[in-house]
Structure 1
């Protein structure tokens, strides 16, 4: 339990338990408000009735005002305001992370003027001197949350169109990673050191880097609150923080990652360990897993398997290794056109496919993995499997500060119009990349195309003009089926094929391997991040 005191009468907290209430009462609180719907967190979440009973035994007043993330409306605000007036203070309100309770309290305040706003400040580190800004202005023209591919690309595209824009990039990390190459690292085909550069080296010229993490977005006040206690005001907001790898959702995984033959290409420090395990493998069972969608680069889990199998085949040990691919979903790949060529490689490597099998726990020292397996009738049973090597892909979720904000859709992703990438309720907010609610493949190629759409539409919105540019759902997944050959899957909304080259897209090609392993890494650093928009094909009405 973490309590945040906002003023003498109100504090917020993350999920509390009945055992916490004695401490809450001892701290002087007289009332508790629950803003979390029952059952939101599954069977481990204490029910509101259980908290109420424990609170009342200690003489605390209790109120339940459940609010769905991203769905705070006038009725909820009015009810919360009335509760603050009726309940004896001090009041503690809680939800899953404390964000919803905090947002409700802020809405209940008299006006946005009650919030202290930090003026734009020079960043701790910038790639180039920050562009000039008027110290009397409290708001940046554009604030971009996220310094990954999506955030850097859209910033570069905006500044190429309007170099005088005052843009701040909110990003806590001191490095920038070229993540698409980590699959190649795990297959022994790329140097991991070439996938990471200092963040300061990729910040676009003319943009300011605010080296801090976003903690909360308050679109009603045009504010981004940071973990360092400061706030950043904006006129336009672009949300591009990516998604969060939820390693903790697989019991025992975090304790055993990087040892006990447990690895994952989804982390910089672990991808080299993947290839180390592949090289050491002489026989036994190799498991490869894929969680439920959405995940970044939906083909990456099976690409790890293909590259490992190709290595074992060339070494002559594949026949001694039992290869199994456990998918939480019911299909090998979401675009049916590409399933037949992929199945040819599944057969070639004699890999076993286990559908509707979701990894839920792992015991590294005992070399045991536990899966929840769903049958045709929807019944779920737990199945334990031994392994000599396992490549794990973690569940992937929206960042908490988005999931619990007014920007979120019902699933917690940043809600946008699927064509314009504009938020439907907050017209000065746009989103792109892995965090957005668009139903496309979460890939770098998608973010690159989205960056052009967002740049054009943000500038149109600033000029009070119609949003003319439209995103067609384009995404690209270079499926490395063997070392030296790639099936380049390019598609848009609804699985519509959108090939860049006039070639059969289902055929594995050495040309596409050259593109994946040699051309794209160079283009990433020197082209994409610099705002080069070749082959983006941005469409407008």
Structure 2
């Protein structure tokens, strides 16, 4: 490929305008780095963690959505377009509009894509009122109304197989719904089924024990190491595979978490690992073959459990590589997964890539246990920090 003469030249190009992309851009601007460009096709910026609270009926979209323009840091150029290819040998990115950008440094913060069509019948089910989800804002708003109105019958909650963006958050609307139904005296008449491909509610044993206790308390029927293989929404049925045996479950409401995968252009551009994610060193976030390429967030295979809470630690490492101040930190895989288990309490998991607990307050080793304090953090404090500190490069 020959670089066109009219290609735009931009020293720092960031692909993706979500949490990772905007926070990196803001940090670079605070270090006086000039000519930073974000490529992001969406006009709205969504704080995804609160979608689970919307689905569970304890929040609304006013605290979740802002315009992409309003969160783009001052001095950063936002190009509303979609990336289709990268030519790393020439340091060129190509957009859907046909525009090409020559970069000096490329930061891939493209997230992960939802694959509703990966399960037969799931994409069609999404169009019906009996299917809800906390993985898109419209479906989360539908979930809020639908789950609130359940009086009886079977409600199925599914968890996506890895890799996924914070797969465990699919449990949050389930606990919130059960808490509401119990308070209103409806829970005994509702069969709640939880389907997960994992062997336990969570991969970190102390956290898993907290969630197992909550599952038992609500009387949830948990099907572990089980995957949804087909949905027949018109009949209100889905098929699951468990231990090599296929069985059918009838449902009245399905809360679905779609399978997910990295953007296809990562692999086709030669930037991917064997699973299609950006092939970076998990400690430095730098590409193994092209030293002027970095990645963070869901597009990077740097922590076993992807989550928005991991990005802050990753951003600190990456900004030191792009605008060094004499330090060379390394990313240890820190991530977090909050589970809102009632409308007043949460289980807050913080850990590194080895599964060791890493509480934000180091001396509070049992911070992961169900507490009202961590609910306040998840529901109120972290959203404020996100909009006012993280996206402005201050935290």
Tell me the TM-score normalized by structure 2: 0.96
1:170·1:213 contact (CA, 8 Å) conserved in 2?
yes
Aligned partners of 1:170 and 1:145: how far apart in 2?
5
- Secondary structure at the aligned position of 1:359 is classed as strand
- Secondary structure at the aligned position of 1:365 is classed as helix
Partner of 2:232: 363
Aligned partners of 1:244 and 1:276: how far apart in 2?
26
Partner of 1:220: 89
Partner deviation per Cα, 1:421-461 (whole Å, 9 max, x = no partner)? 1011111101000000113321111012111111111234x
Partner deviation per Cα, 1:309-363 (whole Å, 9 max, x = no partner)? 1111111111111111111222220111211111110110011111121112212
Uncovered stretches (5+) of structure 1, i.e. residues with no partner:
1-105, 107-113, 121-138, 534-541
Runs of 4+ in 1 over 6 A off after TM superposition: none
Uncovered stretches (5+) of structure 2, i.e. residues with no partner:
none
2:196·2:226 contact (CA, 8 Å) conserved in 1?
yes
Partner of 2:332: 472
Partner of 2:60: 191
Aligned counterpart in structure 1 of residue 4 of structure 2, from 116, 136, 142: 116
Shift of 1:117: 5.0
Q: Is it true that 1:315 corresponds to 2:203 in the alignment?
A: no
Partner of 2:152: 283
Shift of 1:417: 0.6
- Secondary structure at the aligned position of 1:185 is classed as helix
- Secondary structure at the aligned position of 1:278 is classed as helix
Partner deviation per Cα, 1:345-384 (whole Å, 9 max, x = no partner)? 01100111111211122122210112222x2xxxx33221
1:430·1:458 contact (CA, 8 Å) conserved in 2?
no
Aligned partners of 2:390 and 2:140: how far apart in 1?
24
Partner of 1:156: 26
Q: Is it true that 1:203 corresponds to 2:72 in the alignment?
A: yes
1:145·1:238 contact (CA, 8 Å) conserved in 2?
yes
2:339·2:347 contact (CA, 8 Å) conserved in 1?
yes
- Secondary structure at the aligned position of 2:198 is classed as coil
Partner of 1:452: 316
1:117·1:232 contact (CA, 8 Å) conserved in 2?
no
Aligned partners of 2:68 and 2:5: how far apart in 1?
26
Q: Is it true that 1:413 corresponds to 2:277 in the alignment?
A: yes
Aligned partners of 1:221 and 1:325: how far apart in 2?
48
Aligned counterpart in structure 1 of residue 102 of structure 2, from 233, 237, 246: 233
Partner of 2:357: 497
Aligned counterpart in structure 1 of residue 297 of structure 2, from 430, 433, 445: 433
2:57·2:148 contact (CA, 8 Å) conserved in 1?
no
Shift of 1:164: 4.1
Aligned partners of 2:245 and 2:139: how far apart in 1?
30
Shift of 1:193: 2.9
- Secondary structure at the aligned position of 1:482 is classed as coil
Q: Is it true that 1:305 corresponds to 2:193 in the alignment?
A: no
Partner of 1:528: 390
Partner of 1:481: 341
Partner deviation per Cα, 1:265-293 (whole Å, 9 max, x = no partner)? 10010101112121111111111111211
Aligned partners of 2:5 and 2:248: how far apart in 1?
53
Partner of 1:174: 43
Q: How does 1:19-418 map to 2 (within 5 A)?
A: 106=1, 114-120=2-8, 139-161=9-31, 163-373=32-242, 375=243, 380-418=244-282
Shift of 1:258: 4.8
Aligned partners of 2:58 and 2:109: how far apart in 1?
29
Partner of 1:127: none
Aligned partners of 1:439 and 1:513: how far apart in 2?
24
Partner of 1:15: none
RMSD after superposition: 1.5
Shift of 1:184: 0.3
- Secondary structure at the aligned position of 2:137 is classed as coil
